[in-house]
Amino acid sequence: MHRQLNPLILSLSAILLCGCSSKINRTLSPPADTKWVNVEIKNPSPYTKPFPLEVKYISHQCLKKRVSGFDGSVITEPSYNAIQIPLQQQSGDIWQGKVARVGGGSCKWTLSAVTLGIEYIEATHLGKDLVLGTAVGVTLEFDDNKYRNQWLKSVEGNLHLSPKYYPYIKEKKIDKIENSVSLFGKDDFLSLRAKNLRKITYNPLIDESKITKLIGNEKKIKGVYPKIIYPDGSIAPERTLFPNFDKVDRMKVK
């Protein structure tokens, strides 16, 4: 798997290393009457594949303690439980899975967040010896963390998403670093606040007729920066860090 780990999982891993996480019972046991979130993903290309659902549960029953890095005080906070749920391929390009809103167990786990999306699994048609880069998708926040989620758009009921993505090839020259290919969109990972969400349908679109490239330098030279070259041959302003999705989306390429 060449996908870069989601920041959600990375931050969670750091949390689990703190305090008394080893004493927490992370066994899930959804009750019979739990509500489910159904996920359906339509794989847009034979060169991509949906990755397993990254699911995070939270417990306000089994608390953990950590030492503050600011003043050394002991902070008590909820525990988290990260799991992956494999998607099952149905007919054709449809993949499905479901997530329990209530994870149950002795810690009374409840759903905190779900991350889903797609990634390249093969890209020889786009170039030779390309390393498969990062994934794209959406993260849905379910717990009522006002500090983290207050600015997110809220969704409920049945959610249908059809984001568009384009290939982004990074050609790095210094130290013979391998070239990579990823997808990029308006939001590589869209974040939404979920309220009473029952079903998520994710139907991404990929347009490989427009390829954006980042061309690295042959060697380190002061004042010389990598260039982002758009599908029509135009070059992004110097020191541009990320390609402009709207520019690519509007672009007419022969």
The tally of domains found in the chain comes to 1
Give a yes or no: residue 51 inside a domain.
yes
Give a yes or no: residue 239 inside a domain.
yes
pLDDT at 9: 44
63-80 per-position pLDDT tens digit? 988 887 777 788 888 999
Residue 244 vs residues 67, 105, 166, 189: alpha-carbon distances, Å: 41, 46, 11, 15
Give a yes or no: residue 118 inside a domain.
yes
104-140 per-position pLDDT tens digit? 999 999 999 999 999 999 999 999 889 999 999 999 9
Give a yes or no: residue 23 inside a domain.
no
Going by pLDDT thresholds of 50, 70 and 90, the confidence category of residue 103 is very high
pLDDT mean over 88-106? 95
Q: Is the dihedral of CA 50, 116, 210, 207 positive or negative?
A: positive
Q: What is the pTM of this model?
A: 0.84
pLDDT at 22: 53
**CA angle, residues 225, 131, 117, in degrees to nearest 5:** 100
pLDDT at 3 over 60: no
pLDDT at 176: 63
| 160: containing domain | 34-250
pLDDT at 235: 95
4-49 per-position pLDDT tens digit? 545 444 444 444 334 344 588 999 999 999 999 999 999 999 999 9
pLDDT at 19: 39
